[in-house]
């Protein structure tokens, strides 16, 4: 007589916030799947719903609370985890029916809460999961988290309060995970942490064996080894410490993508000082020039905060002039927003909302013009592009060049590309450009 398997409980997941949160969600789901749980793509089919929250900004907190409320309304059985778990009392005051609240990267606690809320029937046949784990991103790219927490104490940020000080992962563990991801189909590894440049400073004297060699826990050594594993390796959240200079030759060699995501935040010295960030904008300009001499195709992306308390019109104009000189490839900006618990909330010189909006618009107009000019210069070139989506009916496709990270940068739109597949890396002749995107066709093979 055939064995009838018990029905495994189903778990739904709502993942909010940054890619680091997405990695946490993947790890939680991977553990639950290995324990035998099934995954539900909707509220109705889930025995319990996890909401992985973001708590960085007040607006993000409100979005998290709205997501919790929706999950309770649609399902009723909700477990909350993530950055906003630090404010359990706020969550429970608003939603007393929440089953459990855990903090960021508390994997064991949230998995334990799921086991309590929806116990798994004992069965040796239900514990199945791929070696690479479960992914919430497309098969061909994966976020690779190399550390947790941050040692900086920026005035506008509460990440250390949410996630603690820097804790680096062992390099051999990171490289082993990278190998599994690539074996499962990953073509592009997106290296993330709160401060990628600081990777390993807490375990610097603990080198590990990897493939018969010793690997030092340092950003440069790790990037070099990752470049041997994956076709594309992209570095995010890189603070411009002096040792970042040693990564640029790896980009020139093709081991690492010529791309750096550096959160400059501002350029005016007084604003940087108030933000409690290094005020070395002049030196940075010189280093950008040196990096471009070593690796002419390097793309620099950054984010900036406008309307920080005390920011004067002179400070903002200094930033605008600095951007003219820096000629960054990709820029995002945020209007300053108070975050509960941040030191910046108590600073004098609050900037009126209408001034923030006006400065934000001016900054985005300038950076769009810089981006447009840089993209126009690429017309006629042949660039490698990773394919993210294909429309077989129209024959079109979209992908990204080496200068474009998923979801935050531009895209490359292709014609005559219906024969391609997601994850293919193809040579594309660039035919046109706008402010943020490129247009072209695959080169005939």
Does the pLDDT at position 315 exceed 70?
yes
Residue 5 pLDDT > 70: no
Q: What is the pLDDT of residue 245?
A: 94
Among 9-13, 97-101, 124-128, which is the least confidently predicted range? Answer: 124-128
Beta-carbon neighbour count of residue 202 at 10 Å? 16
Band of the pLDDT at 3, cuts 50, 70, 90? Answer: very low
DSSP letter (8 states) at residue 242? G
Could you give the 3-state DSSP secondary structure of residue 265? Answer: strand
Q: Are strands 425-433 and 438-442 parallel, antiparallel or unpaired?
A: antiparallel
Is residue 56 predicted with pLDDT exceeding 90? Answer: no
The 3-state DSSP class for residue 299 equals strand
Binding residues for [4Fe-4S] cluster: 18, 54, 83, 150, 154, 157
7 falls in which pLDDT band (50, 70, 90)? Answer: confident
pLDDT tens digit string along 359-407? 999 999 999 999 999 999 999 999 999 999 999 889 999 999 999 999 8
List, as one string, the DSSP characters of 367-415: HHHHHHHHHHTTTT-EEEEEEEEEETTTTEEEEEETT--TTTS--EEES
Identify the weakest region by mean pLDDT among 80-84, 308-312, 437-441.
Answer: 80-84
Structure tokens at 301: 């992306």
Asked if the model's pLDDT at residue 323 lies above 50, the reply is: yes
Share of the chain above pLDDT 90, in %: 62
Q: Is the pLDDT of residue 170 over 70?
A: yes
Q: Residue 335 has what DSSP assignment?
A: E
Task: Tell me what pLDDT residue 124 has.
Answer: 42
Q: Which residues contact 54 (CB under 8 A, 6 or more apart)?
A: 16, 17, 18, 21, 60, 61, 63, 64, 82, 83, 84
Query: Residue 1 pLDDT > 60, yes or no?
Result: no
**How far apart, in Å, do the first and last CA atoms of the chain sit?**
56
Helix (H) or strand (E) holding 232: strand 232-235
Average predicted confidence (pLDDT) for the chain: 89
In the prediction, which pLDDT does 28 show? Answer: 86
pLDDT interval class at 105 (50, 70, 90): low
Report, as an integer, the average pLDDT of 153-174. 83
Quote the pLDDT of residue 69. Answer: 93
Q: Is residue 67 within 8 Å of 12, Cβ to Cβ?
A: no
Q: Are 247 and 220 in contact (CB under 8 A)?
A: yes
Contact 83, 339 (CB under 8 A): no
- Collapsing DSSP states into helix, strand and coil, what is residue 215? strand
Angle among Cα 295, 298, 300 to the nearest 5 degrees reads: 145
The distance between the two most distant Cα atoms of the chain, rounded to a whole number of Å, is 82
Q: What is the mean pLDDT of residues 331-360?
A: 89
Residues 379, 382, 388, 391, CA torsion sign = positive
pLDDT of res. 132: 61
pLDDT in tens, 131-154: 566 566 788 999 899 998 888 888
Q: Determine the Cα–Cα distance for residues 186 and 231; give it in Å rounded to an integer.
A: 9
CA 259 – CA 244 distance, rounded (Å): 12
- Exposed / middle / buried, residue 128 (Cβ in 10 Å: 0-12, 13-18, 19+): exposed
Q: What does the block give as tokens for 204?
A: 């610097």
Residue 126 has pLDDT above 60, yes or no: no
163 token code pair = 């996630």
DSSP 343: G
Query: Where residue 125 falls among pLDDT bands split at 50, 70, 90?
Result: very low
Token representation of residue 15: 């993942």
Instruction: Scan for tokens 């440049």, then name that residue.
Output: 197
Return the higher-pLDDT residue of 24 and 396.
396
Give the annotated binding-site residues. 18, 54, 83, 150, 154, 157
- Encode pLDDT of 249-282 as tens digits: 999 999 999 999 999 999 999 999 999 886 566 5
Q: How confident is the model at residue 247 (pLDDT cuts 50, 70, 90)?
A: very high
Pairwise CA distance, residues 42 & 34, whole Å: 20
């Amino acid at each position: 007589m055939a064995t009838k398997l018990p029905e495994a409980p189903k778990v739904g997941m709502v993942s909010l916030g940054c890619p680091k949160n997405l990695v946490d969600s993947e790890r939680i789901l991977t553990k639950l799947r290995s324990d035998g749980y099934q995954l539900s793509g909707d509220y109705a089919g889930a025995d319990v719903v996890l909401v992985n929250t973001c708590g960085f900004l007040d607006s993000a907190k409100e979005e998290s609370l709205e997501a919790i409320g929706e999950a309770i309304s649609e399902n009723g059985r909700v477990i909350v985890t993530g950055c906003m778990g630090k404010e359990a009392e706020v969550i429970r005051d608003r939603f007393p029916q929440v089953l459990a609240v855990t903090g960021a990267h508390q994997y064991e606690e949230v998995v334990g809460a799921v086991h309590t809320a929806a116990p798994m029937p004992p069965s040796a046949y239900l514990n199945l999961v791929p070696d690479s784990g479960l992914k919430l991103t497309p098969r061909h790219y994966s976020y690779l988290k190399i550390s947790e927490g941050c040692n900086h104490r920026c005035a506008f940020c509460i990440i250390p309060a949410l996630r603690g000080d820097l804790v680096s992962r062992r390099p051999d563990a990171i490289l082993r995970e990278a190998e599994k991801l690539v074996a499962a189909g990953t073509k592009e590894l997106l290296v993330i942490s709160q401060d990628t440049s600081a990777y390993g400073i807490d375990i610097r004297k603990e080198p590990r064996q990897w493939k018969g060699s010793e690997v030092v826990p340092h950003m440069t050594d790790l990037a070099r080894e990752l470049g041997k594993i994956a076709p594309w390796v992209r570095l995010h959240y890189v603070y411009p410490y002096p040792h970042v200079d040693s990564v640029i030759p790896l980009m020139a060699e093709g081991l690492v993508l010529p791309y750096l995501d550096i959160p400059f935040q501002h350029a005016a010295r007084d604003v940087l000082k108030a933000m409690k960030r290094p005020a070395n904008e002049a030196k940075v300009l010189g280093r950008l020039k040196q990096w471009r001499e070593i690796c002419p195709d390097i793309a620099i992306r950054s984010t900036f905060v406008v309307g920080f308390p005390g920011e004067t019109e002179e400070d903002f104009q200094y930033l605008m002039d600095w951007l003219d000189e820096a000629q960054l490839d990709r820029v995002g900006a945020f209007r300053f927003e108070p975050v509960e618990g941040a030191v910046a909330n108590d600073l004098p010189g609050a900037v009126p909302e209408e001034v923030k909006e006006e400065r934000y618009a001016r900054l985005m107009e300038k950076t769009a013009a810089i981006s447009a000019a840089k993209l126009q210069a690429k017309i006629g070139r042949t660039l490698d592009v990773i394919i993210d989506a294909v429309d077989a009916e129209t024959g079109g496709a979209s992908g990204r060049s080496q200068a474009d990270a998923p979801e935050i940068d531009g895209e490359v739109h292709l014609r005559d590309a219906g024969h391609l597949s997601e994850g293919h890396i193809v040579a594309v002749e660039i035919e046109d450009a706008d402010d943020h995107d490129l247009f072209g066709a695959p080169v005939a093979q």
